[in-house]
Amino acid sequence: MLAVIPARGGSKGIPRKNLAVVGGRSLIARTAAVVRALSWLDAAVLSTDDAEIAAEGRAVGLAVPFLRPAELAGDAAAAAPAWKHAWEAAEAHWGRRFELSVWLQPTSPLRTPDDVTATLAAMLAGGHAAAATVSRIPGHYTPEKTFVLDPRGVMRFYASDGARHVARQSIPDYWTRNGHCYAVRRATLVERGHIVEEDCRAVPIERFIVNIDDPVDLELAEWALGREARLAREGSSS
């Protein structure tokens, strides 16, 4: 069982994003802490093209036996080829074959070991090709509540039946990938290049989480971690 932590050096929204500090620890360090708590992992590897990120990974106990090629680290680079490269390079490094893998983006600082375990368990229990964590889309962001503007700036409903959905309760549930965890089988990714394209089991996370993309997300993550710490202290003192 292999964990891959993707952390390229480039980022437009937040420069050097994967080295950003949240709650006193870098995003790389927070991901490494989750990895250490997963006793069922056989190996974990940091996939990066950046020397400074590689050094941070090694400092917090992650294996960095190779650097990611530049063509797999640009703004337009897709996740599947980068994951496949890390998977095959890890197999070459350790001289063994990994049949399963999880993809743990450092930009999910509120991830817990239980989130990762649940994602893998959901894939295996259902015999699925893959699994991914998802979050519910708020009702006011759904297609039924979305508008488009014509050339004159006049609004119209995006969904043809949007006008009839006055209450949120009449809108079906929509979900979005939240980046907390992906799990795949070797045949799914290495052989077919797929992650969520086929038979991917959704693993809902209902609590508040943050995916770091813009500077404000760092502030939200700090607030959320502080809130968790405060609730933990109050719980232990009661």
Yes or no: say if 28 and 7 are a contact pair by the CB < 8 Å rule: yes
Percent of the chain residues topping a pLDDT of 90: 82
Domain around 12 = 2-133+177-204
Separation between Cα atoms, residue 132 and residue 203, nearest integer Å: 6
Mean pLDDT of 126-149: 95
Yes or no: say if 145 and 166 are a contact pair by the CB < 8 Å rule: no
Q: What is the pLDDT of residue 181?
A: 98
User: Which CATH number characterizes residue 18's domain?
Assistant: 3.90.550.10
Instruction: Give the torsion through C-alpha atoms of 20, 34, 123, 121, to 10 deg.
Output: -160
24 in a domain, yes or no? Answer: yes
Q: What is the pLDDT of residue 238?
A: 60
111 in a domain, yes or no? Answer: yes
Separation between Cα atoms, residue 83 and residue 195, nearest integer Å: 10
Mean pLDDT of 4-22: 89
139 in a domain, yes or no? Answer: no
86 in a domain, yes or no? Answer: yes
Mean pLDDT of 116-123: 98
> Given a cut of 90, is residue 75 above it in pLDDT?
no
Separation between Cα atoms, residue 36 and residue 94, nearest integer Å: 18
Number of structural domains found in the chain: 1
Rounded to a whole number of angstroms, the distance between the first and last alpha carbons of the chain is 40
User: Which residues does residue 175 pair with via DSSP β-bridges, in sequence order?
Assistant: 136
Please indicate whether residue 226 or residue 103 has the higher confidence score (pLDDT): 103
Mean pLDDT of 213-227: 93
43 in a domain, yes or no? Answer: yes
91 in a domain, yes or no? Answer: yes
213 in a domain, yes or no? Answer: no
pTM for the model stands at: 0.91
